[in-house]
Amino acid sequence: MTEKKRILSGMRPTGPLHLGNLHGALLNWIQMQEEYECFYFIADWHALTSDYENTSMISEYTREMIIDWLSAGLSPDKSTMFIQSRIKEHAELFLILSMITPVPWLERNPTYKDQIVQLSNKDLSTFGFLGYPVLQAADIIMYKPSGVPVGMDQVPHVEITREIARRFNYLYGNVFPEPEAILTKTPKILGLDRRKMSKSYNNAIFLSDKPDVISSKVSIMITDPQRARKTDPGDPDVCNVFEFHKIYTDKETINDIIPKCRTAKIGCVECKKIMAKSLSKSLEPIREKREYYEAHPDLVDEIIADGILKARKVAETTMKEVRASVKI
């Protein structure tokens, strides 16, 4: 049997996972379990880079996120799940990599420039925030993965990771393979208000939302903006609710809705009720699993402890090699 290729990816614990995260990353992670040896981790130190002023939620979000992962279908038998801050080797490798990373590589990083503008309410003129990609590079190359499944916004970080790995190898000898970004297709799922789904926009549907919450969120969704009254014909092709139908509702019902919408024979209120129901039904297995893990906190602790143990073993081996190569 040939060895499976290894992949690694991480998420910052910024809050409960929503449908955008599910379709944008998690479903892909779950699928990759079949083909790859997977390492998935919570980047809690990375959460500090922008939220250092208020750290009160980070550890709770960390645990909740792992429960979200498990509920959605990441399996502890197939994937190693761990928490960044519990593997101190990440900090050591970060420090060493920071010695060899030219500051201009970090300053010209488009994601960095973008975030400084977008999060202008926070003071991000810190050393740690500039060094975000160096920590990310340490997270990644520590495990020598062949690929890193990420969204478009993270591609510059993987690119810097490759450059840092190359520079390390050039200076100290060949230790690190250069990982490839494995691009996750970004889904057409938008938030309730048709902006990108995001917790900070207050337009998200969370995996943990109960059916009544889903119903009330769906009821305020923006539909075909041209359709002001129930008697106006609608156009499913420009309707965000319909995008959800395409994912969650059965074909037959969808085929029934399309002509009725175009001829104003169905109103948006009714159409949304149908969608909310199919969405709730699709999320039911995830919700049930969440209830199970919430009722078994020891099991969650065990899964996390086990993942940390496995990750640490790899990290310790890599760091021995690193120390020997750097001669320190």
- Taking the C-alpha atoms of residue 16 and residue 300, their distance in angstroms, rounded to an integer, is 16
Tell me: does residue 227 bind ligand SF4 (CB under 6 A): yes
Taking alpha carbons only, the member of 25, 40, 33 closest to residue 184 is 25
- Taking the C-alpha atoms of residue 318 and residue 175, their distance in angstroms, rounded to an integer, is 8
Tell me: does residue 84 bind ligand SF4 (CB under 6 A): no
What is the smallest separation between the CB atom of 7 and ligand TRP, expressed in angstroms?
10
Q: Find all residues with CB under 8 Å of 89, minimum gap 6, and list them.
A: 142, 312, 315, 316, 318, 319
Give the nearer residue to ligand TRP in terms of CB position, either 10 or 20.
10
**Contact string (CB under 6 A) for ligand TRP, positions 137-156, x = contact:** --xx-------x-x---x--
Give the nearer residue to ligand SF4 in terms of CB position, either 75 or 216.
216
Tell me: does residue 85 bind ligand TRP (CB under 6 A): no
What is the smallest separation between the CB atom of 245 and ligand SF4, expressed in angstroms?
7
Q: Which does 234 bind (CB under 5 to 8 A by kind): ligand TRP, ligand SF4, none?
A: ligand SF4
- Taking the C-alpha atoms of residue 298 and residue 314, their distance in angstroms, rounded to an integer, is 25
3-class state of residue 177 by DSSP: coil
Are 45 and 84 in contact, with CB atoms under 8 Å apart? yes
Tell me: does residue 197 bind ligand TRP (CB under 6 A): no
3-class state of residue 274 by DSSP: helix
- Placement of tokens 């129901």 in the chain: 277
What is the smallest separation between the CB atom of 315 and ligand TRP, expressed in angstroms?
13
Query: How many Cβ atoms sit within 10 Å of the Cβ of residue 109?
Result: 18
Are 101 and 112 in contact, with CB atoms under 8 Å apart? no
Q: Which does 241 bind (CB under 5 to 8 A by kind): ligand SF4, ligand TRP, none?
A: ligand SF4
- Placement of tokens 């909740």 in the chain: 64
3-class state of residue 110 by DSSP: helix
Q: What radius of gyration do the chain's Cα atoms show?
A: 22
Residues 21-80 that bind ligand SF4 (CB under 6 A): none
Residues 29-48 that bind ligand TRP (CB under 6 A): 43, 46
Kind of pairing, strands 37-42 and 79-83?
parallel
Tell me: does residue 9 bind ligand TRP (CB under 6 A): yes
**Contact string (CB under 6 A) for ligand SF4, positions 186-225, x = contact:** -------------------------------------xx-
Taking alpha carbons only, the member of 190, 197, 204 closest to residue 241 is 190
Q: Which does 71 bind (CB under 5 to 8 A by kind): ligand SF4, ligand TRP, none?
A: none
Tell me: does residue 243 bind ligand SF4 (CB under 6 A): no
Q: Which does 17 bind (CB under 5 to 8 A by kind): ligand SF4, ligand TRP, none?
A: none
Give the helix, strand, coil percentages of the chain, each rounded to 5: 60, 10, 30
**Contact string (CB under 6 A) for ligand SF4, positions 257-296, x = contact:** x---x----x-x--xx------------------------
- Taking the C-alpha atoms of residue 307 and residue 302, their distance in angstroms, rounded to an integer, is 9
Q: Which residues bind ligand TRP (CB under 6 A)?
A: 8-12, 43, 46, 136, 139-140, 148, 150, 154, 157
